[in-house]
Amino acid sequence: MTTSSDGRLPLTHVREDGSSHMVDVGEKPVTARRARAEATVITRPDVVASVFDGSLPKGEAIGTARIAGIMAAKQTSSLIPLCHPLALTNVDVELVAAADRVLISASTATTAQTGVEMEALTAASVAALTLYDMIKAVDREAVITGIRVVEKSGGRSGDWSRNATTQDDGR
């Protein structure tokens, strides 16, 4: 493990020679771990209504986006090079209507030696991408935003949740 260029943070995925590698988690204890991430698709209010009443030209978007998010969470280690494959015990993706947007929340759980934040982020992101694909024919200006981890539990670093006053840009 090396330190960052500013000397403060340990770089767990970087070898002494600067090359990337997958961290060995074999000595870490197996613990119950959970994470929740979110994403937002901003569109017009009439499009949000169509999403939730099932009248989009491409069909029923809510179930399609939910299943896409679940499938994506299960494939995270195939998509993100340094992620460990995890046996997920739960993936839940929810889509909620707001005035001009759809709020997506993805929760993941496992009992493992490493966390499930990346799986939650992947689920939320792919659900948002799927929803975008389903609405692009009626709103080419739709925007995906706010992809971020909002809470996690388990593991050495313990529980964490995003402060309710955190800015929309995640800082």
Torsion of CA 116, 118, 124, 127, to 10 degrees: -110
Matching residue, tokens 């074999």: 26
CA dihedral 92, 93, 96, 102 (to 10 degrees): 160
In terms of residues, how long is the chain? 171
DSSP label at residue 65:
H
92, 133, 159, 168: the catalytic one is 133
What the block records as the tokens of 7 is: 């000397």
Angular region, 95: left φ>0, alpha ψ -120 to 50, beta rest: beta
Tokens at 32, concatenated: 């119950």
Indicate if 133 belongs to the active site: yes
As annotated, the active-site residues are 133
